[in-house]
Chain A
């Protein structure tokens, strides 16, 4: 077995970069900080590739399953006699896969940002935060136990907060960052409660112990029941709540579209490829517990994923901000992954969904990062997010156009690009798992193709738009990452995932189910066709259709009024109905009582002070009378 202790360096290098750049960045030339950040990440990426190579091919004898290896671990905090928080790195197929995904995308984003962020105020801050994020995300995937995961989970949340609010002078960015943090924080509350419940019942945080089929989690799965579900199910549902928050699943998704206020490379890295799939990773990490111990919780996962994917796809069809379209598309695709996990079983072919989910995660990271970076290049060129102000850009931005098109085809699921393979596996898994969800996914596949090509045509085709200054292609430092990612999007599908990343570590066969694949491709083509018909040239068709379905269009355009609902709950209920009365209550009732006590004292003293009249004779009179009374009482009446 290979020694993987060095994997701990993968997160630590970005951390060192963060500290170094964060403390000294303002003293160096901006470009230097960018280069340091990129170099650090490149180093981490190389290490990640070496790890992957070692794990999957060198240190592995063919035919046996992949085991999970605890490469490194130290105690961080003792909690109870059983529970200790440890920090370390756990190497197994999904963590290695995630390492590759994160370092690759992060490296591309770093390189891209050197160009994209040029001349921005706070250049070094940007790279420091990117390194912080990379550190947190890598720490998250390497977590050996669920509490370590929670720790890094919070850290990615904060990195995301800092990066969304990067343009902190823009009120909308500040609001968005706040929203992102608080919504995910709320979800994390569920995660934390889930962890507390799970760890209390199993006496461990450790993933290896938890997921072991003979471990306490799965063997004690029955447990006490509460409202028809076992304690284990409840804790897993709570944990999934955390995952749903981070992965922007319905109804905790509202922060994701707003998070697009951050710089575009951030959206590519955090809100498309890596952080938002943390929820998927979390469920995958605990998958044996879900699958073997609490199938009820897994159903929840499946349905939440399915609903989110449809919901987001519908909204994506009507949005006009290109980054928001991509955000909803991300949400929809993550819904796919969740659904795949939800319908999956454990072991062998049963675990097809698990494999498909991870596969899709991998390919999605490539093409979605590509889409965002491409969108970034477009925004860079025209200084606007709004696609109604774009059109016919293909001749100004040839490289961007080509790579964007590749990404669109990939996400639409046209063979032989990678999206086709991973999506196909998901559909097969859904077909085997749950027919209702399967049909939803078919619909979503069509919608996906439609809105992606709507986006594509609106940007690169359509009307000839007049720009303030002629758009120009991005510099090489930005286009090279696009090309690399395009390459990944095309060929990632040929990776033998069914041999590498499976629910039980053992490889299995996945013949392509043509009966499912062909209709899905046809539906995708249909979507593309409709989009081509509607948006390739400027026609009145879109408006007519929007008019025909005016209610649906309006609801979709307003994101089904989810934001308004949340706003109502937070502003009206929490602020005005809880917080304000609490503040009032405190000032007037609690403090009023205290002041009232003081007031009573004062009132009494005002009343009593008349005795201190300064009149000697009055004193003398009271004294004499008192003396007489005392004599009377003590001599005669006692």
Chain B
């Protein structure tokens, strides 16, 4: 059995297991066990991957498996991973695992909740392991659709509105992606012969440039919507604000990464010439995202909105870095995806925990929480510091790699946008500290806060998992960066059309 297929299989088995549970207590235990196995498996995958690489295996994709499942259109179930996907799988496993513990106390329709959640995660895993565009798209939809139910049923506030908005906008993105993918498929054999969905095969040929010009915006914007590309990001604040904790975590932590990953692996990798021609448009949009999201976050009062705008800013940086089209910046983009995934999951988990106690998310109604819930307070500060790029935590590694990479362009345009994007670190500091100050520090505003308790064991477990991951990447980034970097070489060569030496 191929190890990668297990990543799709285990969630499915877990779902089957959940069907046999009697009450929410059993359900959550089964979910936790299933996702725990998944996490162990992800660790094992990283280990196997590195071992294989160290043994001198230089194939672009490892652990590949390929079988046709719809011969008429030549659709394969084709899986394989490189350093980038391995890293993303690791991220997903961590966030899902933490998400299960963050939703430990979901008792309303808990079976359905966990089934949707795990179904979503299986879609994400499937997306990251797929090498076949159609299968990838299939998994993409599997990941997006349960979101509607999760927000619409278990959400809060105007949940129907938010769920509808989020789903519609993401579906619009899907439609664009589908156009792009079909276009790629029908141009995948310009010299005649069998059309193919396989990414690796398509990468070997060149899609005609006129087609690229047409298809690239579709694909890039389609994935960009999920990656919160300005001005298609507005689903994010509403959606996150209404979503239940674990869903926000998964959505911002993992699902938004599908956008970045797809924009990079599909749009740019397969259509490099058009990407180079049109990059400037998207660079402008993404730089706007970066700064605009940060400024937008300053003014918000709802914790989830703040974090949603912060996500817009950080995810903008991912796409920004991808568009810089050099090894360093793209490396930074992937690290930023992982880093932001962990950070934002941590934030949403904490917001959920705090909201569960104070029953408000408005920062001006809170204050002094550090005193009553020191554990959550400290976790929040750590998350905040990671978010504003403190060395030793993951955000710094990602941001610095991105900035150094972006700075490798010498022309005025790139320099200007780079400096603009760099300036976001200051704005980020402003809104992070504003929240920390208003939320945790200062006098306690409401007497009933004094009765609140600190985190429960499962909440601690969820939080600590994420913090440890953030710190691990922040303290020892070399292995991750090298793992991603070596896999990037062929892609960057294809995208820039130049052969590069690689770093090592």
A residues lining the B interface (CB < 8 Å): 75-81, 83, 85, 147, 150-152, 154-155, 158, 161, 165, 168-171, 174-175, 177-178, 181-182, 185-186, 188-189, 192-193, 196-197, 199-200, 574-575, 578-580, 582-583, 586, 590-591, 593-595, 598
Q: Is there contact, CB below 8 Å, between B429 and A154?
A: no
Task: Tell me the complex Cα distance, A193–B233, Å.
Answer: 29
- Distance in angstroms from B447 CB to nearest chain A CB is 15
* CB <8 Å contact, A185 and B426: yes
**B485 at the binding interface (Cβ < 8 Å):** yes
- Supply 15 further A-B pairs (C-beta < 8 A) apart from A155-B391, A177-B433, A598-B165: A76-B477, A80-B503, A81-B503, A83-B404, A168-B370, A169-B371, A182-B426, A197-B407, A578-B295, A583-B299, A590-B233, A591-B234, A591-B238, A593-B231, A598-B168
In angstroms, Cα B441 to Cα A517, docked, is: 50
A193 touches B328 (CB 8 A): no
Residue contact A196 to B425, C-beta cutoff 8 Å: no
A310 to chain B, nearest CB (A): 28
Interface residue from B165, B441, B504 paired with A78 (Cβ < 8 Å): B504
Decide: B441 and A169 in contact? CB cutoff 8 A. yes
Does A155 lie within 8 Å of B392, measured CB to CB?
Answer: yes
**Residues of A with C-beta under 8 A to B276:** none
How far apart are B267's CB and chain A's nearest CB, in angstroms? Answer: 22
Q: Residue on A with the closest CB to B378?
A: A22
Known pairs A181-B433, A193-B422, A580-B299; A80 contacts B408 (CB<8 A)? yes
Note all chain A residues with C-beta closer than 8 A to B233: 590
Question: Would you call A185 and B425 a contact (CB within 8 A)?
Answer: yes
**Contacting pair B327 A80 (CB below 8 A):** yes
Min Cβ gap A299→B in Å is: 24
Interface contact A192-B425, CB-CB below 8 Å:
yes
Q: A200-B408, A582-B292, A594-B165 are in contact. Are A174 and B442 (CB under 8 A)?
A: yes
Q: Does B440 contact A (CB under 8 A)?
A: yes
Interface of B is mostly: helix
Of the residues A79, A174, A593, contact of B328 by C-beta under 8 Å:
A79
| Contact status of A175 and B437, CB under 8 A, knowing A78-B482, A189-B422, A586-B292 | yes
The distance in angstroms between the C-alpha atoms of A182 and B485, with both chains bound, is 33
| Min CB–CB distance B385 → chain A (angstroms) | 6
Chain A residue numbers with a CB within 8 Å of B390 are: 154-155, 158
Contact in complex: A178, B437 (CB < 8 Å): yes
Contact yes or no, B503 A151, CB < 8 A: no
Please name all residues of chain B whose beta carbon is closer than 8 Å to the beta carbon of A199 when the two chains form the complex.
Answer: 404
B327 touches A185 (CB 8 A): no
Please determine whether A80 and B404 come into contact, CB atoms closer than 8 angstroms: yes
Number of A-B contacts (CB under 8 A): 141
**Which 8 A-B residue pairings sit nearest by Cβ, starting from the closest?**
A583-B299, A151-B391, A591-B234, A168-B441, A579-B298, A174-B441, A196-B407, A582-B295
* B443 interface residue per 8 A CB criterion: yes
| Stretch of B40-48, B183-191, B250-258, B395-403 at the chain-chain interface | B395-403
- CB-based contact B407/A169 at 8 Å: no
Q: Residue on B with the closest CB to A148?
A: B391
The verdict on B296 contacting chain A, using a C-beta distance below 8 Å, is: yes
Q: Are B425 and A189 interface neighbours, CB within 8 A?
A: yes
Q: A-side binding surface: helix, strand, loop or mixed? A: helix
At the interface, yes or no: B481 with Cβ under 8 Å from chain A? Answer: yes
A396–B134 CA distance with the chains assembled, in angstroms: 84
The smallest beta-carbon distance between B50 and chain A, in angstroms, is 16
Q: Which residue of B lies closest to A586 (CB)?
A: B296
Can you list 21 A-B pairs, Cβ within 8 angstroms, ordered by A? A80-B327, A80-B328, A83-B404, A85-B400, A151-B392, A158-B385, A158-B390, A169-B368, A169-B442, A174-B437, A177-B437, A185-B388, A189-B426, A196-B407, A199-B404, A579-B298, A580-B299, A586-B296, A594-B165, A594-B235, A598-B168
- With contacts A171-B442, A174-B442, A594-B234 taken as known, whether A77 is within 8 angstroms of B401 at the C-beta atoms is yes
Q: Is the CB of B328 within 8 A of A579?
A: no
Contacts of A591 in B (CB 8 A): 234, 238
B 415-440 binary contact with A (CB < 8 Å = 1; else 0) = 00011001101100110011001001
Contacting pair B481 A78 (CB below 8 A): yes
- Residues on A with C-beta less than 8 A from B370 are 168
List of A residues within 8 angstroms of B405 by Cβ: 79-80
B window 451-485: CB within 8 A of A = 477-478, 481-482, 485
CA distance A53 to B231 in the complex (A): 62
The CA-CA distance from A100 to B295 in the complex, in Å, is 43
Given contacts A81-B501, A151-B396, A181-B429, contact A76 B299 (CB under 8 A): no
Q: Which residue from chain A places its CB closest to the CB of B428 in the assembled complex?
A: A185
Inter-subunit contact B502/A81 (CB<8 Å)? yes
Q: Does B64 contact A (CB under 8 A)?
A: no
Query: In the bound complex, do residue B442 and residue A168 qualify as a contact, i.e. CB atoms below 8 Å apart?
Result: yes
When distances are taken between beta carbons in the complex, the residues of chain A under 8 Å from B407 are 196-197, 200
Report the Cα distance A171→B445, complex, angstroms: 12
Q: Which residues of B contact A150 (CB under 8 A)?
A: 391
Which residues of chain B come closer than 8 Å to A174, judged between CB atoms? 437, 441-442
Residues A590 and B503 in contact, CB atoms below 8 Å apart: no
